[in-house]
């Protein structure tokens, strides 16, 4: 993954192309990024008003000039748990245009955590103070997948599950101090959580087809 989306367009192309050439020489694939997501990711913060959707025409030019193997596009998602100040939905019109410009090319959605309110409520009930956290409507994932999205990033949701499990565990077992005890619970809870995401994506129960595709 190379994220040059904060750079001017030509610089993003130049940096991405160098990474692609080096990676391809080693037999590695590269995911690049075009367009700017709002929210907070590591040390980078972008206000919602400054987020920039991916330009479909620019997307084709970018892929052709860099040779990247997949492209993360900005279509209305956002990083972090506090994603949106108002009503939000994905810009399927933009995604559809990108797919037309890049038919069959793997597209990626970053910042796609749904920030489940039941997780937020349980965290707060166990001593947390999350207020105003909201995310992407997970029921929109399947339509995105039908329009060429092959990977969806949901890091924040996993952190919420981790926080909920550990807060509840140590609330209910104040005499405990070993992180391995709630860690075992988290592994099982997170596995169930990801399985549910697969249902939203329409990828649940597809393992036999995947095995056929890869010849396993």
Cα 207 to Cα 216: distance, rounded to the nearest angstrom:
11
pLDDT value of position 43: 43
What is the domain count for the chain?
Answer: 1
Residue 3 lies in a domain: no
**Of the candidates 23, 20, 3, 21, which has an alpha carbon nearest to the alpha carbon of residue 12?**
3
For the chain, give the percent of residues with pLDDT over 90: 63
Residue 2 lies in a domain: no
Supply the range of the domain harboring residue 133: 9-214
Residue 203 lies in a domain: yes
Residue 30 lies in a domain: yes
Residue 83 has pLDDT above 50, yes or no: no
Which CATH number characterizes residue 127's domain?
A: 3.20.20.70
Q: Would the pTM of this model clear 0.95, i.e. be above it?
A: no
């Amino acid at each position: 993954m190379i994220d040059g989306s904060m750079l001017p367009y030509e610089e993003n192309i130049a940096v991405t192309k160098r990474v692609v050439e080096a990676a391809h020489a080693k037999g590695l694939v590269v995911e690049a990024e075009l367009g700017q997501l709002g929210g907070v990711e590591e040390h980078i913060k972008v206000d919602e008003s400054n987020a920039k959707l991916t330009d479909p025409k620019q997307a084709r030019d970018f892929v052709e000039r860099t040779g990247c193997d997949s492209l993360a596009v900005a279509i209305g998602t956002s990083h972090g748990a506090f994603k949106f100040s108002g009503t939000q939905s994905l810009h399927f019109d933009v995604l559809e245009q990108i797919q037309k410009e890049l038919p069959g090319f793997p597209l990626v959605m970053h910042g796609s955590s749904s920030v489940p309110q039941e997780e937020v409520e349980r965290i707060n009930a166990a001593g947390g103070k999350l207020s105003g956290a909201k995310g992407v409507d997970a029921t929109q994932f399947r339509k995105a997948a039908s329009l060429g999205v092959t990977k969806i990033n949901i890091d924040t949701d996993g952190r919420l599950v981790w926080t909920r499990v550990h807060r509840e565990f140590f609330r209910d077992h104040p005499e405990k101090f070993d992180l391995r005890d709630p860690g075992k619970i988290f592994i099982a809870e997170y596995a169930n959580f990801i399985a549910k995401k697969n249902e939203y994506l329409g990828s649940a129960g597809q393992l036999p087809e995947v095995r056929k595709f890869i010849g396993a």
